[in-house]
């Protein structure tokens, strides 16, 4: 079943006119999130990002057409769902004279990453640093989907985008096909102490060609609250990190939360690097994040 315009409809109950620009050039936006103990804790953040993208890309989305948390509950109740679910809000491209059509659908949560953490493929996918659409969750997601499916076919959980910087003779990494990328200096005294030496967490700046992930921002705010130093770097994270055993590596995603990375494979150099997953500091962040999301605390 789906939710649209305040109504619960069967899957085939939604009509989109052929004149909608979704069918013309793939115009449209989407947001994917999940419930925690039945609550859509991050829904408002996702709606805000969708509306920001709509404004920047000139899509005619009426804010009142977006769902509220009670609409999420109504949809799950209509489906007879008792556990937590993944939800997706989709907004079509609209027409020259009509607003976007918005609907929401639920699906089961994905299986968690196995013991030992995720496996990450790097140097297999380049991104155009000037592509403004790379910063939005548009319906034209075909390239990222192909990258993800090819990585899965090769036995990896995710592929990391990047680009070669000729000026600095180095490769810079940006984000995964559906995740944001973090690394953390792990040879420190811990997140929850007040000792002088703090953990340092690195992630690509939103000035880089990345989607400004909702979970990415939540983790940044939480880490800073727990006295970690967070550095958002432009244009990205330089490739020298890959062989450093002092790092903990993790990804973020609004459905999976924090995803520890246990293995990084460099496709160009044919090298494999291994990390503790989750490392001590990553585990601390995971526990604090999960606690707050499940309690529905302000994030």
**pLDDT tens digits, residue range 227-247?**
889 999 988 887 766 666 668
Q: Are residues 103 and 122 in the same domain?
A: no
Q: Are residues 89 and 132 in the same domain?
A: no
What CATH number is associated with residue 87?
Answer: 3.30.470.10
Q: Are residues 35 and 151 in the same domain?
A: no
- C-alpha atoms less than 13 angstroms from C-alpha of 11 in its C-beta half-sphere: 4
Q: What is the mean pLDDT of residues 143-164?
A: 92
- pTM for the full predicted model: 0.92
- Boundary (domain end) residue, out of 75, 107, 139: 107
What pLDDT, in 10s, does the model give residues 88-111? 999 999 998 999 999 999 999 999
Q: Are residues 56 and 129 in the same domain?
A: no
Range of the domain at 43: 2-107
Q: Are residues 125 and 54 in the same domain?
A: no
Tally of domains in the chain: 2
Q: Between these two residues, 130 and 20, which has the higher pLDDT value?
A: 20
What pLDDT, in 10s, does the model give residues 272-293? 989 999 998 899 999 999 999 9
- Boundary (domain end) residue, out of 55, 74, 107: 107
Q: Are residues 101 and 148 in the same domain?
A: no
Q: Are residues 81 and 217 in the same domain?
A: no
Q: Are residues 60 and 124 in the same domain?
A: no
Q: Between these two residues, 275 and 188, which has the higher pLDDT value?
A: 275
β-pair partners for 104? 3, 89
Q: 253 CB contacts (<8 Å, ≥6 apart)?
A: 178, 179, 180, 213, 215, 259
Cα–Cα distance between 143 and 136 in angstroms, integer? Answer: 14
pLDDT at position 196 is 45
Q: Are residues 11 and 103 in the same domain?
A: yes
- Phi/psi zone of residue 38: left (φ > 0), alpha (ψ -120 to 50 degrees), beta? left
């Amino acid at each position: 079943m789906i939710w649209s315009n305040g109504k619960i409809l069967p899957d085939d109950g939604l009509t989109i006119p052929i004149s909608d620009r979704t069918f013309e050039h793939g115009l449209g936006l989407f947001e994917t999130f999940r419930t925690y103990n039945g609550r859509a804790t991050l829904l408002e953040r996702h709606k805000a990002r969708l509306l920001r993208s709509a404004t920047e890309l000139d899509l005619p989305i009426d804010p009142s057409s977006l769902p509220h948390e009670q609409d999420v509950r109504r949809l799950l109740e209509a489906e007879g769902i008792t556990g937590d679910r993944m939800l997706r809000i989709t907004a079509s491209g609209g027409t020259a004279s009509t607003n976007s059509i918005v609907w929401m659908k639920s699906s089961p949560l994905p299986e968690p990453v196995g013991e030992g953490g995720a496996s990450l493929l790097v140097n297999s996918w380049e991104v155009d640093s000037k592509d403004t659409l790379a910063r939005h969750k548009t319906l034209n997601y075909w390239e990222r989907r192909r990258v993800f499916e090819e990585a899965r076919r090769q036995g990896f959980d995710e592929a990391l985008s990047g680009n070669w910087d000729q000026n600095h003779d180095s490769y810079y990494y940006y984000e995964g096909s559906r995740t944001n990328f973090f690394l953390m200096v792990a040879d420190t005294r811990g997140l929850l102490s007040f000792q002088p030496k703090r953990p340092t967490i690195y992630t690509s700046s939103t000035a880089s060609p990345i989607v400004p992930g909702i979970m990415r921002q939540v983790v940044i705010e939480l880490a800073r609250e727990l006295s970690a130093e967070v550095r958002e770097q432009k244009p990205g994270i330089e490739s020298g990190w890959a062989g450093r055993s002092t790092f903990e590596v993790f990804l973020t995603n609004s459905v999976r939360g924090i995803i520890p990375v246990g293995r990084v494979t460099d496709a160009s150099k044919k090298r494999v690097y291994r990390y503790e997953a989750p490392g001590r500091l990553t585990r601390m962040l995971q526990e604090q994040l999960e606690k707050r999301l499940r309690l529905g605390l302000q994030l």
